[in-house]
Amino acid sequence: MFHTSDGDAMSQVRVRFAPSPTGFLHIGGVRTALFNWLFARQQNGVFVLRIEDTDQSRSTDDSIQAIVDGMRWVKLDWDEGPFRQTERMDLYRDHAVRLFEQGHAYWCVCTPEELETRRKDAETKGGSPKYDGRCRNLGLTKPPGEAALRFKAPQDGQTVVDDLIKGRVVFDNQILDDLIILRSNGYPTYNFSVVVDDASMGITHVVRGDDHLTNTPRQIPIFQALGFPLPRFGHLPMILGSDKARLSKRHGATSIMAYKEMGYLPDAMVNYLVRLGWSHGDQERFSREELIEKFSWKNVQTSAAVFNPEKLLWLNAEYLKTSPPTEIAQALVPLLEQAGLKDEVRACSIEWIAQLVVLVKERTKTLVEMVHWVTPYFGEVVVFDEEAAKKFLTSTHAAVLTKLVERFEALPTFSKHEWEEAFKKLVAEEGIKMGQLAQPVRVALTGRTASPGLFEVMEVLGRDRTLLRLRRGIERASRS
RNA sequence: GGUCCCAUCGUCUAGCUUGGCCUAGGACGGAGCCCUCUCAAGGCUCAGACACGGGUUCAAAUCCCGUUGGGACCA
């Protein structure tokens, strides 16, 4: 009943994501979750969320919430869970006892100090540092006091992992240690609780980080001793920082929610993360539906990948440019409110904010940048950037600006085309260059020297506010 | 130290299974040019890699062996 063939027909695919609650959800974790999720959705399978909190003595509801929030933000929905290992302690103990009763485990009374000295001894003599098996054949029944339960690992033959990603990996069983499965404090160890969980949750494909590959031959004999069918295993390559060391905080933000705060779109994050270790020819952009359809283990990379924030930024900009403006506007609203524009935002429609998005989306790479670009369009008047005003709103500019306002006022309604005509005509008559009038107008309208096209700006502002701001600009110019 | 994994432009990768279509393709980043009312965006162009050494073969990025270099795990 040990099935190891791929897909294994009839049975439904069940995969899991099993993060430990470390306070936040790491982007490496998100990528692991993503591959599992894609496979589950593609196979019409089940995606389980499990919190591995046995080791984490101070694992809190807060950190579980952080995982849940992170998963929700990137829209990776799970079908079962979140389960917590700390709520399943009886299950681990029962299985441990079963292993003991069936002769697959034994009590060990060696103290950590004894183990340490014997290990060092063995090492100086050139031996292996693994447990020397002193208690293996003592036949101890649950002894009083401190004792740990050890698993009797096979000592000959080989354990073969037919990995979904790495292919066939062979381990000699001689290297296998008699792992502690229950500590003297009654807590299960990692390698034991994962097996019990994966088996009892009916996980068919265990897909996790590369760092667990060498744990796999330790776990397989436990599945077998417990009489459980073996799942398929898949080990994803790690994500590295720019110095090729494991990605960590010193490389920059690693929490998925930090990217939310920096103004990244969840779809861009997912798209970037999936391409870090997976590819489909030369394609760079994928919708969720496409990913679900095209995902395949055979296109998962075997080597580690360096996280490249610049490419992520580019992708985010792509998403900003091509996503429906209303969607972007909705994501932008909370950030605008945080930026102190609560009243202003409430005073206008989402459609108008979407117009702002269209106005600036070509020139921003994150929502945070977008907030900065979009702020001048809220409110009646604008705050001048001092340097910009000093340069472009001077007495020399006042005259021509006044002429411009007069011509605009002569046009009863705003029309982008007509106003542009009027503008160009004035420039021609004055014998100046476009820029000589455009920059002062730009500063008057937006307060800054860089903005979208002037006539698009006027369109968004509307006739009245355009004229008002121009007059304010003239006032400022005349004063200087 | 032992075991295991990995190795194509600076980075992400295509190609590797089933050798020839590869004077190695795409993307990010970089450089330059064009467009232009500013800032962007966009278009075009350029620089840039098969870790090394041996085999096998008419032919190797692709297959085999070794070396080196990274990484993970066990302690």
Q: Is A464 exposed, middle or buried (0-12, 13-18, 19+ CB in 10 A)?
A: exposed
Is the four-CA dihedral A198, A204, A208, A214 of positive or negative sign? positive
Q: Which among A311, A234, A242 is positioned nearest to A272, based on CA atoms?
A: A311
Q: Residue A172 CB: number of other CB atoms within 10 A?
A: 12
Contact A345, A333 (CB under 8 A): yes
Q: Which nucleotide C1' is nearest A433 CA?
A: B37
**Rounded to the nearest 5°, which phi and psi values hold at A181?**
-105, -30
**CB-to-strand B under 7 Å, chain A 314-333:** 314, 317, 321
How far is the C-alpha of A440 from the C-alpha of A474, rounded, in Å?
9
Contact A206, A232 (CB under 8 A): yes
Contact A264, A366 (CB under 8 A): yes
Average pLDDT per consecutive 10 residues, chain A (480 residues; last block may be shorter): 44 93 90 97 96 75 91 97 89 92 89 78 69 79 80 90 91 89 88 95 95 94 94 94 82 89 97 95 94 94 94 97 96 95 91 96 96 94 91 90 93 91 92 92 95 95 94 87
Nucleotides of B under 7 A from a protein CB: 1-8, 10-15, 25-29, 36-41, 70-75
Residue A390 annotated to the active site: no
CA–C1' A224–B18 (A) = 36
Contact A148, A183 (CB under 8 A): yes
**CB-to-strand B under 7 Å, chain A 445-464:** 449-455
pLDDT tens by residue, A352-364: 999 999 999 999 9
**Per the residue annotation, which of A120, A249, A390, A425 is the catalytic one?**
A249
Q: Is the CB of A434 under 7 A from strand B?
A: yes
Q: What percent of chain A has pLDDT over 70?
A: 95
How far is the C-alpha of A357 from the C-alpha of A56, rounded, in Å?
44
List CB contacts of A23: < 8 A, sequence separation 6 or more: A62, A63, A66
Q: Is the CB of A203 under 7 A from strand B?
A: no
Determine the pLDDT at residue A58.
64
Strand pairing report for A148-151 and A105-108: antiparallel
Q: Which nucleotide C1' is nearest A244 CA?
A: B70
CA–C1' A167–B3 (A) = 17
How far is the C-alpha of A90 from the C-alpha of A143, rounded, in Å?
20
Determine the pLDDT at residue A144.
65
Determine the pLDDT at residue A5.
42
Contact A447, A376 (CB under 8 A): yes
List CB contacts of A313: < 8 A, sequence separation 6 or more: A365, A366
The token pair that represents A301 in the structure block: 């990379």
The token pair that represents A163 in the structure block: 């990995």
List CB contacts of A448: < 8 A, sequence separation 6 or more: A376, A385, A388, A442
Q: Is the CB of A211 under 7 A from strand B?
A: yes
**Rounded to the nearest 5°, which phi and psi values hold at A305?**
-125, 140
Q: Is the complex ipTM higher than 0.85?
A: yes
CA distances to A162, A189, A208, A252 from A200, in Å: 21, 16, 18, 38
**CB-to-strand B under 7 Å, chain A 35-74:** none
Determine the pLDDT at residue A127.
63
* H helix or E strand, kind and range, residue A343: helix A342-346
How far is the C-alpha of A177 from the C-alpha of A158, rounded, in Å?
14
List CB contacts of A96: < 8 A, sequence separation 6 or more: A105, A149, A181, A182, A188, A192
Q: Residue A195 CB: number of other CB atoms within 10 A?
A: 28
